[in-house]
Amino acid sequence: MRAVAFITALGLITLQITGTAQSGLRAVVYASGFTFPLDVVQDPSNRSVQLVVEQGGRIRVVRGGVVLPTDFLDLRSATVSGGERGLLGIAFAPDYITSGRFFVNFTNRDGHTVVARFRRSADPLVATPSTRFDLKFTPQGYIEQPYANHNGGNLEFGPDGYLYIGLGDGGSGGDPEHRAQNPRTFLGKMLRIDVNVPDADQIGYRVPPNNPFLGSGPANTLPEIWAFGFRNPWRYTFDDPTLGGTGALVIADVGQNAYEEVDYEPRGRGGRNYGWRLREGLHPYDASIPAAFQPLTDPIHEYNHLGRGGSITGGYVYHGRLLGPAFQGRYLFGDFVTSQIWSVALTVDANGEARATNLIEHTQELGGIMVSSFGVDAVGELFALDYSRGTLLRLSGPPIAPPTPAALRIIR
């Protein structure tokens, strides 16, 4: 993802489109007044509340479509913002209703990645800044970033209750130090950790005992690593099993000069290598240094950069009702640079692997959204953030006509 300057090192984009929707899909402004919004999450304890993350360091509260004047959390003094840096993501712990714990991902004043734990206060719409604890991936409490771009930034709890942390390759262009395939760095990887530890724990997490590289894989692989080979995974989500999904992890990985890609990982199927920098999408990029391990896992979908520029923004597998039955099980995603939005059908085989088909573009219907992130409410309905306009949009289908009254009779 590239916010403001998230357009570096990209060419121009054209899509291999197989259809244009005539479904009556609509984007309605739900809340506005944000400054460079990058993430939106549902408050697990209150269905009427969503939290919107602003790149500059504020987390705003939206209740019933109204932006409240008091921030949930203000990290502006701790965050460096601009380009691809800033406050980038938030995730609520699975036990948030009782524990009050949540986690944020931001770049500190020196430009390094911090994943920090906080608790809410007695007021459920306000966090307690003094409860901050930076997870100790290193003794310094941060993950060093060699360049200013490709910080990743997303945080998601999986159906297994563990926290997944997607990190870009460290930046510059073309992964010059080949970090995405280096087993001794967190960069260019998906991490998976257990944060259900006491407050007094000095590290703030444990490595799950079934992480795929514990005692296997390339020598000296950091045990927190779940998967290799990412350039900049800007938004990944789980196909929510509580809404009828498979639990699969769907990842949008931003490309270099030619291709954007969507990766699909069946539930619990870690230990994969998604190929960057040897490949960009399905295509060779730079194999001058060998992969950390083989085989490389193919994306289920890619699109190329021919004429219009691109930076993929990952979305969700839809299981709501407002978009209509035709959208059930489709993966909706967009592009930050071109303000385009598409959906694909996912066909899942007996082994849990998916195939993407029936690509449909929805840009014209939705009016063009500089989409920095998607979100989902408590019942599976979709939000989209427009970065440039500072708006939170709710996606819906065509208006539903009221039912025709039954047993009509004429009264004289």
Residue 392 lies in a domain: no
Domain-located, residue 41: yes
322: Cβ contacts below 8 Å, ≥ 6 apart: 381, 395, 396, 397
* Structural domain boundaries, residue 266: 31-303+316-324
Q: Has residue 4 been placed in a domain?
A: no
What is the rounded CA–CA span in Å between residue 309 and residue 15?
10
**CATH, residue 215:** 2.120.10.30
Contacts 24+ apart (CB under 8 A), 319-322: 319/240, 319/243, 319/244, 319/245, 319/380, 320/243, 320/376, 320/379, 320/380, 320/381, 320/382, 321/379, 321/380, 321/381, 322/381, 322/395, 322/396, 322/397
What is the per-residue pLDDT for 227?
A: 98
The answer to the question of residue 146 being in a domain is yes
How far is residue 375's CA from residue 395's CA, in Å, rounded to a whole number?
Answer: 10
Nearest CA among 317, 173, 312 for reference residue 252: 312
Instruction: Classify residue 412: in a domain, yes or no.
Output: no
Task: Work out the angle at residue 8's Cα, subtended by the Cα atoms of residues 5 and 9, and round it to the nearest 5 degrees.
Answer: 170
> Which pLDDT tens digits describe the chain residue by residue (412 residues)?
544 443 333 332 333 444 554 568 999 999 999 999 999 999 999 999 999 999 999 999 999 999 999 999 999 999 999 999 999 999 999 999 999 999 999 999 999 999 999 999 999 999 999 999 999 999 999 999 999 999 999 999 999 999 999 999 999 999 999 999 999 999 999 999 999 999 999 999 999 999 999 989 999 999 999 999 999 999 999 999 999 999 999 999 999 999 999 999 999 999 999 999 999 999 999 999 999 999 999 999 999 988 566 899 999 999 999 999 999 999 999 999 999 999 999 999 999 999 999 999 999 999 999 999 999 999 999 999 999 999 999 999 976 655 666 665 665 5
pLDDT value at position 10?
30
pLDDT of residue 403: 61
pLDDT of residue 5: 40
Cβ atoms of residues 51 and 17 within 8 Å? no
Give burial (CB, 10 Å; 0-12/13-18/19+) of 408. exposed
Q: Provide the Cα torsion 37, 73, 146, 189; round to 10°.
A: -80
**Inside any domain, residue 144:** yes
Q: How many residues belong to the chain? A: 412
Say whether the peptide bond before residue 295 is cis (omega within 30 degrees of 0).
yes
The pLDDT assigned to 24 comes to: 83
Global pTM reads 0.93
Strands 340-348 and 330-335 come out as: antiparallel
Total domains in the chain come to: 1
For 353, residues 6+ apart whose C-beta sits below 8 A from its C-beta are 264, 266
